[in-house]
Structure 1
Amino acid sequence: MNDDTEPTVIIVPGLRDHVADHWQTLLADRLDRVRTVPPLDHDRLSLDARIAALDAVVSDVDGPIVLVAHSAGVLITAHWAHTSTRPVLGALLATPADVEKPLPEGYPTIDDLDRGGWLPIPRRRLPFPSILAASSNDPLADRRRVAGLAEAWGSRFVDLGAVGHLNPASGFGDWPAADVLLRELLGRPAAAPSEITSVPSEL
């Protein structure tokens, strides 16, 4: 029988949804209490649809929750946070995409994202503790702008160094620091700085 006092981790992917070798997928595979926001079959660029999908998962979970978001999933989480009254223990927000600036080729345009309701990025303080982990060479966001989001949201800012967009295209795969930062959000033994900032040897 599950202990309803044990937190459930809710994985909030970005616009590419489920990717088998993504660190969020691998993290979910080793957690006991975890739910992942499912892919959308339609309206994939609709922020409202993304928020509704996250809210449906949250509503189906009893007990405390922790959010683990990546890329556009960070923005979904930030928008959702100001529409929901559900208490959240904390959120790990990794390498948010800066949708207010042109994204690289192959990603949605600013006009597409604006039509989908993504602009502007919310800058109100989040109603729960959060850690924002940023990359110094993220092709989808400038580190200084991400640091500004961390300040606006009241997030603890963690500089991961040069880890790209923290996705398979950047050499991740697994990201062990996610477990370390998640422990911090859960109030478990703190991590050593080297555990958080270390990057895979192949990068």
Structure 2
Amino acid sequence: MTPRVLLLPGWLNSGPDHWQSRWEALHGDTRVEQADWEWPRRGDWMARLDEVLMADASPALLVAHSLGCQLVAAWAAHSRLTDRVTGALLVAPPDTERDDMPPQLHNWRPIVRQRLPFPATAVVSSNDPYCAPERAAEMVQQWGARLVGLGPLGHINHESGLGDWAEGRALLDTLRAA
């Protein structure tokens, strides 16, 4: 059975020009909607992901951007539904432990650093304003994910000029085939 793709946007959601929104429109991927995008609570976001996975027993691939990456790590450490996930694409994980993070994200501390129970690929930029490359590499290693560096693409969002981001879709297809 082909896994469905669940999109996990970060803080403030992904706007219409973001590659996640474009994938939703182009490929029919499903966005996991959260009740509060402005003041995200880790436990609430984890519970919502569980709800979506319980509503449909088919396997899923998680595609997370920014805070969505932290959601995957926290959720995987606590959920009993991890066997429904066949893999995760983690794009631009933020360092929520940085002193300059907005107060809305302080409840995402500490970062959950347990090994993920499913295959994962993490995509990072060398000049992400929300995470130094060294910190990203450290998180990715602790999660047991494969690291893909893209060079200087900022936060790998709509401002990065990725359009439909075919390279990201190819990485997802590699995870799907694994």
Which TM-score applies when normalising by structure 2? 0.91
Deviation per CA, 1:159-197: give whole Å up to 9, x if none: 111110011223333321121001110117xxxxxxxxx
Alignment partner of 1:92 out of 89, 98, 106: 89
Of structures 1 and 2, the larger Rg is shown by 1
Q: Which runs of structure 2 are paired with 1:1-203 in the superposition (5 Å)?
A: 5-32=1-28, 34-41=29-36, 44-86=39-81, 87=83, 88-103=85-100, 108-109=102-103, 112-114=104-106, 117-187=107-177
**Cα distance, 1:62 vs structure 2:** 2.5
Distance in 1, Cα, partners of 2:144 & 2:108: 21
Unaligned runs of 5+ in 2: none
Flag the structure with higher helix content: 2
Q: Secondary structure at the match of 2:64?
A: strand
What is the TM-score of this pair, normalised by structure 1? Answer: 0.81
Kindly indicate whether the alpha-carbon contact (under 8 Å) linking 1:136 and 1:159 is maintained by their aligned counterparts in 2. Answer: yes
Structure 1 vs Structure 2: percent identity of aligned residues? 39
> C-alpha distance in 1, partners of 2:161/2:169?
18
Superposition CA RMSD, Å: 1.7
SS at match of 1:113: helix
Say whether the 8 Å CA contact 1:8–1:61 is kept in structure 2. no
SS at match of 2:57: coil
Contact in 2 for aligned 1:44/1:50 (Cα 8 Å): no
SS in 2 for 1:30: helix
Query: Is residue 12–residue 38 contact of structure 2 (8 Å, CA) maintained in 1?
Result: no
The letter of the residue matching 1:126 is L
What secondary structure sits across from 1:89 in the alignment?
A: strand
Cα separation, 1, equivalents of 2:164 and 2:37: 29
2:92, 2:37 → 1: CA distance?
25
